Structure 1
Amino acid sequence: MISRLRQQLNEQLMSDQMAVDLLSSYLRMDLSAQPWDQPL
């Protein structure tokens, strides 16, 4: 039971990590496309 719970938590963490990576890379692209002296 505990190991199954841990497995589920692990998968959740993995998908969260992927989502964070995707989001941060997307934000980086978005920010780098903006000139710095202009407000977003």
Structure 2
Amino acid sequence: MMSLKCCSSDISKLAASQYSRAHNSIAAEVAQQQLANYT
């Protein structure tokens, strides 16, 4: 039971880091597109 809980917490940390990385890359793409629109 404890090992399952530990494993699930590791998975949630991994998912959170992947989500934040994806969110950052999307935000960077949007910023570049907005910059391109201004120039």
TM-score w.r.t. the length of structure 1 is 0.81
Give me the identity figure in percent: 6
Question: Moved runs in structure 1, 4+ residues, more than 4 A?
Answer: none
2: CA distance, partners of 1:18 / 1:5? 20
C-alpha distance after superposition, 1:1-40 (max 9, x if no partner): 11100000000001000000000001000001102xxxxx
Gaps of 5+ in 1: 36-40
Aligned 1:1-40 pairs, distance under 5 A:
1-35=4-38
TM-score w.r.t. the length of structure 2 is 0.83
**How many pairs were matched up?**
35
Root mean square deviation of aligned Cα: 0.6
Q: Which has the higher contact order (CA 8 A, sep 6+)?
A: 1
